[in-house]
Structure 1
Amino acid sequence: MGTELEAPVWPAITPEEAGAVLGRFAQAGRLIALHWHSPRPFSAATLVEAEGGRFIFKRHHRDLRSLDALMQEHGFIAHLRAAGVNVPEVMAAEGCTAIARGEWTYELHRLSPGLDLYRERHSWTGFLSPDHASAAGRALARLHLAARDYAAPPRGTDPLIAGWTILPASDPMAAVQAYVTARPALARFLQDRPWREEMAGLLCAVPPGLAEQAPLWTHNDWHPSNLLWTPEGEVATIFDFGLATQSCALHDLATALERSAIPWLEMQDGAAIKGDVGAALGLITAYREMLPLSLAELDTLLALLPLVHVEFALSEVDYFAGLLNDPAQAAMAWDGYLIGHARWFASAAGQAFLADVRRGAGA
């Protein structure tokens, strides 16, 4: 949640571990080498070279991603792949696309085509060019079109899932209370904080009509470093569906804007930040070329933008307070992420960003 690199929470995958698990994936074959370890914080991942080719090999704690949770994610990926969307090929092990071993769960994806242009950049940093923003908008629209006939139910209460239960609820505060009650670690963390007052102050701005949005399985973590690129600047592969679940198209589009058009990681020690209006408009305009949005939908999108992070931020607080037992990181997720991002949109800079995007989009 800042620009400084942190020591990994989860231990790196070792060659011995990789070799033992890869033996259960028939298409992988014998391990040859591990070439790279991901610095991302929520799981351990490595680039594997094996007899069957090159793969991304990921390991999760079973309390973070159970076999059932991974299978839900893989079901969505398989649907998109069958519909012609460029997503990873998930490998099967003994008839299942995820396996358990001790306290860990594992998945294996064949290395996808495309240039990993953002690999050395922090998550949630902006696009390298306006053309990349436009390409990302087109790719997101293609994903939404392909997802329209995917009818799986939403995922459950696993940590780090970008759910859609609070904002569209008829009583968002009651939905927040239900969310907290279902997660004991989150409830314990919040018990001595004035969290109800803080949440009520945010949720009074929930736009009307969200419950009427058509349900849609969505990516929910759309930012440049979750995309691979062609030399011409188009999206070659979409990956990292760990946050995917059923929400709606405007939720996913708002998430894409929130994570790629605002330099959140620079917002430290009171530093002022400005949103990238050009990137936001590039993404929205390209999306609308494939999936038109009415003026009312644009208004809803921009009203949703200051709050679209709320449910995932709560899931981060739960993750840090519970699975990691790290109250300092949980406090940062609450104060800096959940509350801080929403308050930025109410600031002069945030209001100017929203006004400029609204004007540029013709809303």
Structure 2
Amino acid sequence: MSGGASPGQFGLWGKETKRDWPLITQDEASRALAAFGLRDVTPIEWHSARPFSAVSRLSDDQGRSWFLKRHHHALRDKAALAEEHRLIAHLAERGITVARPLATESGDSVFTLGDWSYECLPGLEGRDLYRDRLSWEPYLSRHQAFESGRALAVFHDAAQSYDGQARPERPLVSSLTPLLDERGPEIGLCSWIASNAAMRGAIDTQGGAEAILTALRPHFRRAAPFLASPATQWGHGDWHGSNLTWHGAPEHEKIGAVFDFSMADRTTRGFDIAVALERSMIDWMNPLHDPEGSLCDFASEPGQITAFLAGYDDVHPLSRREREEIAAFLPLAHVTFACSEIWYYQCLLDLPDLAKTTYDTYLLGHANWFSGKQGYEMLELIAAGAQSVG
């Protein structure tokens, strides 16, 4: 998990030179780490290119690596991070290799300073094979897709006994809760948007909720049987290759550890699997165009889908109904996150062009793709099941 610093970050369409948040400075890192009892640290070795927060890696005088992660309080305050840290502690107690946050000298797992919330996490053993890849890119091989699916099943088994309630309103979370409204997912989503005046205003500015509902209604109908009485538990919320560490020779890699729980929430296995497939199995970052230059499709990875689900089956065999649930939830996996991201760009960062891209291309574009031929075929592949691939 080494490498040189990079000033840019990953964004909606690849690597961007402008970052959402300033890099952590050396003086800032020293002050924050001192609060966690780390006073002898090397200069910053690396800055993460991931969006939504700032992350730097440093080492202490004993050669141990530490990741200092800084969040704006509007995204993750002390209470929000504590929700994630409780889940991490539960998983660690059940044998999942995770980075347990360091405590401050006052016993808290979060240090706050002005508008910022800091957490300090130990470096994990293994290679970060996907550090320089975007979240929406395929796995490097079907074998790695298989291992990722297998690891998610192990994760879900460990998380099943965690009894934490669904998170309250938090931005940038893979939240299923608004769609579980007893009046139905459409009313639930509308009520959830209306409850946040800033998000409602941002969505209205970019085109309004009605276009979103029009794109989602076919998917709401398909998902209705699985929203009625879901078996909820906590999930990861952002499962893809760059949130895992890897070890072993090529084509024989195994997953060593899991990290980044910022999008975790109470969900269902099916919805969390759908999020994982949405993150890696459609090449959203490289849209295909017709000869006139118009967007016409996105490439998908049916072989990796088959491998991922076979890996999951290896630990937790999926029933036909569970596969149908995954297929039904896949077109909805990005919805609440995308609505929140519109607010993020429009209101918090004052970047209306990116809010427009999120509204048109991410929220509406992805939902509409699943209503087309390629998207429908992918959903049918998932629902029907596939032979095991190892």
Query: Common fold, TM-score beyond 0.5?
Result: yes
Secondary structure at the residue paired with 1:124? coil
Say which of 89, 92, 114 aligns to 2:126. Answer: 114
2:18 maps to 7
Q: Does 2:274 correspond to 1:254?
A: yes
Cα deviation for residue 143 of structure 1 reads 0.6
Structure 2 residue 359 is matched with structure 1 residue 334: yes
- Range that drifts further, 199-208 or 174-183: 199-208
AA of the residue aligned to 1:210: L
Q: Does 2:204 align with 1:191? A: yes
- Residue of structure 2 equivalent to 1:228: 245
Mapping for residues 1-363 of structure 1, pairs under 5 Å? 1-26=12-37, 28-52=38-62, 53-93=64-104, 94-170=106-182, 171-191=184-204, 193-206=207-220, 207=223, 208-231=225-248, 232-267=252-287, 270=295, 272-361=297-386
Question: Aligned partners of 1:151 and 1:43: how far apart in 2?
Answer: 28
Report the residue type matching 1:88 in the other structure.
A
Letter in 2 for 1:187: R
1:254 deviates by 0.7
Tell me which moved more, 335-344 or 44-53: 44-53
Distance of aligned partners of 1:357 and 1:153 in 2 relative to their CA distance in 1, 3 Å threshold: closer
- Do 1:43 and 1:60's aligned partners in 2 also have CA atoms closer than 8 Å? yes
Give 1:197 shift: 4.2
Unaligned runs of 5+ in 1: none
Report the TM-score, using the length of structure 1 for normalisation: 0.95
Paired with 1:197 and 1:298, the residues of 2 have a C-alpha distance of 28
Q: TM-score, normalised by structure 2?
A: 0.89
The question of whether the paired residues in 2 share the 8 Å contact of 1:164 and 1:247 is answered with yes
Q: Does the 8 A contact of 2:320 with 2:384 survive in 1?
A: no
Task: Give the 3 Å change call, closer, same or farther, for CA 356–7 of structure 1 in structure 2.
Answer: same
Amino acid at match of 2:90: H
Question: Which whole-Å deviations, capped at 9, do the CAs of 1:36-61 have from their partners, x for residues lacking one?
Answer: 00111100001111225211110011
Higher mean C-alpha displacement, 12-21 vs 228-237: 228-237
Q: Is the 8 A contact 1:172 1:203 kept in 2?
A: no
1:164-219, CA deviations, whole angstroms, 9 ceiling, x for partnerless residues? 12333232222122211222221112335342243144134221232322111110
Q: Do the aligned partners of residues 162 and 356 (structure 1) sit closer, same or farther apart at CA in structure 2, a change above 3 Å counting?
A: closer
Give the RMSD, CA atoms, in angstroms.
Answer: 1.6
Distance 1:326 1:112, change over 3 A: same
Change (3 A) 1:271 1:40: farther
User: CA 1:201 to 1:128, structure 2 compared with 1: closer, same or farther past 3 Å?
Assistant: closer
- The question of whether the paired residues in 1 share the 8 Å contact of 2:203 and 2:342 is answered with no
Structure 2 residue matching 1:45: 3-state secondary structure: strand
Equivalent pairs counted in the alignment come to 361
Alignment-derived partner of residue 4 in structure 2: none
Q: Percent identity?
A: 35
Aligned CA distance change for structure 1 residues 356 and 217 (closer, same or farther; 3 Å): closer
Runs of 4+ in 1 over 4 A off after TM superposition: none
Q: Secondary structure at the match of 2:44?
A: strand
CA distance in 1, matches of 2:122, 2:228: 38
* Worse-superposed segment, 352-361 or 75-84: 352-361
